[in-house]
Chains A and B, each alone.
Chain A
Amino acid sequence: MTRAKTWRTGGYVAGNYAFILPFLAFFLVFTAVPIVQAVVMSLHDWPILAKKHPFIGLGNFSKLMADEIWWQALRNTLWFAFLAAGSITVFSLFVSLQLHKPGRARSLYRFFFYVPVVLSVAAMGIVVGWAFNTQFGLVNALLTPLGIEPINWLGEKELVIPTLAMATLWWGFGGPMLIYLAGLQGIPKQVYEAAEIDGASRRQTTWKITLPLMTPSIFFVLVTQVIAHIQVFGQSYLITGGGPGRESYTSIYYLYQTAWRYYRMGYGAAIAVTLAAIILVITLAQFWWNRRQSPVEY
């Protein structure tokens, strides 16, 4: 009796794997192996130029836990991620709700709002550095005629992280805006029509229909934004150099300097592994919180 060909038979399976082989090869070489290598390095004393790299177990991690600079960088990072991810998640939702309404110029607005996304972080850094310059910047030039004294946006301890988050909001809200617009287009028109027949106001429609049905998109944006902004580097590196003092010094900046300025790859890898663990925990917590919410169905 001949066995019927199914998706589980060898020929099919081999064919399927052949299709994913190119991606798999790239994934192994550029992602999986470096991750394993980073974990291995984090367990060694690994000065990059040295010939020997002795195994030190969890030595790098125990040093990291006692490292004040690490904790300051982590605090700065989490504060930045909270502000940037939070503001982008909310602001891009607000903008997409406005742009979803019928209007003649909405395509142009979408294009216009998306333009900053195409800037590299280096270009964004140049623009923001000049815009927020205390003496010669555009922002203070606009505020001064209103009677507001020049603000040292990037030089004050309390202002520097919020200013970087504000700049990141301008730079980065275009991407999530597109995700929200796609989500809004996925909501069936019949639902709105039924609400209209029932006499729901525009505000009620937004709060009772649109936002609940957008929950998956909002959750996706929030999770990806948090992950992205915990890895903040360019803003701090290019715009403030981590200053004043270490008030805008971030975890990835510390990782970069440790590995590529001080050539201590083992300690740098320990920072990377620890930060990855923190991101994982925060992401799992977000998923856990999301699962506890009641699913919205109409």
Chain B
Amino acid sequence: MKKVLALLLAGCVTTLAVSAQADANKPIVIQAGNANAKTKLVFWNGLTGSDGVTLDGIVKKFTDANPDISVRVEKMVWATYFDKLLTSLVSGSGAPDVFLLHEFEIPQFASQGVLYETGEFFKPKGDLDKADYEPEYIKALLYDGKTYGVPLDRHGWGVIVNKDLFKKAGLDPSKAPKNAKEFIDLATKLTIDKNGKHPNEPGFDEKNVVQWGTFASWPKPNFLSVLWQFGGNWTDGKGKATLDTPEAHKALQFWVDLIYKYKVSPKPAGYDGWQSLANQKLAIIPEGCWIYNFLVDSKVPFGVWEYPQFGDKKAAVWTSGHVMYMPVNESGDNLKAAKKLITFLSQNTAAWATAGMPAANLKVRNALKFSEVPVAVTYGASFKRQGQFDVGHKAITEIIDKGYAPELDNALNGLKTVDQALKDANKAVQEILDRE
């Protein structure tokens, strides 16, 4: 009986613990500054991880410097965030004073007239200088010739390696591959089955791999980066989908071949790349800079590379940016205070790099030190050299989530051929483009 009771207790405790963890989906509210301050701002974002805590710290610095303003930071997971944001913007009430979006979402919101135009934040009217940002970033903020939003960071894609596994294989983790062949050679040396064999050796047991060389992680940035490197894109920018092209075939085939031809990557479905890296079972992972806090917390000895050159036309890697916005009806004292907050955040993002995020402001980014924030520095340099923003579109979320991402997943998991997946993706994207 005691055993049963102990088991029950353990079950209940586990249930409560898990329920508490699930409550992480509820908004996290941080009050920065005096709640009775003359002007009260509400700032929404989807940064529920340790990156959000870093941003809270910057907001607190702002309220310390501006005691007449308080900021209520409400953080919620991105899915919930978009639901709430949309509802508040549509209803015209309850919207936050400041909120975050990505740059590629600008057409989706700006086309419906719910965003405050931010041209006045920049010189000569405002304090910010467009010269402090990469020209393509400033261009990505434009919709119908008007500027929307102020950049906070420029995040994106690169490569993280497990130094221990490189050293065990007698390889130098600081030496990044220069092309696809070098990358595949490295990944082959780092893929080991239970008998210690590599994929290029006879008798390699692909069903019992104990250590993978690499991992075809999030398909969108991997595919887009290599697609751009081959000189292609998902659209010609004039209303035509261009996914059923030789460039797109080469890009997707590259990732599919890593799994099924070279056998240096597992099928993505059901594979946990981050945990595998931390548990010494994965050597190289293409990943976003937001992995940085996980790397620090898991104490994995990691190295960082700029995204390698896999294609043969140009250097390119997928980047995006967290951009700060206000609703179009922001006015009065709150408008003035929100402008102050946005300007302050955009100029004080050095600490933001401790969450792995390279600052959007180049003066801030250039002052970062590799010894302190290696991921932000390496990725930041890569973005400056080869970073590319996705094409903005009114229906960009649908184009990605419904149009091509599931088809990439189909090909990578062996459910469709590359040819079929790209044909289906092209058809789906074209239907959306035609409708919009």
Contacts and interface: CB of A to CB of B under 8 A. Distances in A.
B86 A108 contact: no
Nearest to A133: B272
Residue with the highest number of chain A CB atoms closer than 10 Å, among B269, B407, B410, B413: B269
Contact of B271 (A69, A115, A155): A155
Interface string A148-173: 01001111110000000000000000
A120 B19 contact: yes
B233 to A, nearest CB: 21
Q: Which 9 A-B pairs have the closest CB atoms?
A: A155-B270, A155-B269, A49-B112, A244-B269, A245-B410, A122-B22, A123-B22, A262-B398, A244-B413
A167 to B, nearest CB: 13
B336 interface: no
A257 B401 contact: yes
B279 interface: yes
B322 to A, nearest CB: 19
Contacts of B207: 149
A261 interface: yes
A149 B193 CA distance: 14
B402 A69 contact: yes
B271 A245 contact: no
Interface in A232-279: 242-247, 249, 257, 260-264
B18 A245 contact: no
A127 B269 contact: no
B6 to A, nearest CB: 12
Chain A binding surface, main DSSP class: loop
Contacts of B416: 245
Q: Categorize the interface residue count of chain B.
A: 35 or more
A262 B281 contact: no
Nearest to B26: A122
B397 A262 contact: yes
B28 to A, nearest CB: 15
Contacts of B275: 135-136
Contacts of A257: 401-402
A290 B18 CA distance: 40
Interface of A: 47-50, 69, 105, 108, 111-112, 115-116, 118-120, 122-123, 125-127, 133-136, 149, 152-157, 242-247, 249, 257, 260-264
A262 B8 contact: no
28 contacts: A49-B86, A105-B1, A112-B4, A112-B8, A118-B19, A119-B22, A120-B22, A122-B22, A123-B21, A126-B21, A134-B271, A134-B272, A135-B271, A136-B272, A136-B275, A136-B279, A155-B267, A155-B269, A156-B269, A156-B270, A157-B415, A244-B270, A245-B413, A247-B415, A260-B82, A261-B401, A262-B397, A262-B401
Residue with the highest number of chain B CB atoms closer than 10 Å, among A111, A115, A134, A243: A243
Contact of B18 (A49, A108, A119): A119
A135 B15 contact: no
B37 interface: no
B273 to A, nearest CB: 10
Given A49-B89, A244-B413, 17 more contacts: A119-B15, A119-B22, A123-B15, A133-B272, A134-B272, A135-B271, A135-B281, A149-B208, A152-B269, A155-B271, A157-B415, A244-B267, A245-B413, A247-B415, A260-B83, A262-B401, A262-B402
Contacts, number: 118
B8 A111 contact: yes
A136 B274 CA distance: 12
Interface in B383-407: 395, 397-398, 401-402, 406-407
A112 B114 contact: no
Nearest to B18: A123
Contacts of A149: 207-208
B90 interface: yes
A48 B90 contact: yes
A49 B1 CA distance: 60
A152 B18 contact: no
B109 interface: yes
A118 B15 contact: yes
A156 B270 CA distance: 8
A260 B79 CA distance: 9
Contact of A261 (B7, B398, B406): B398
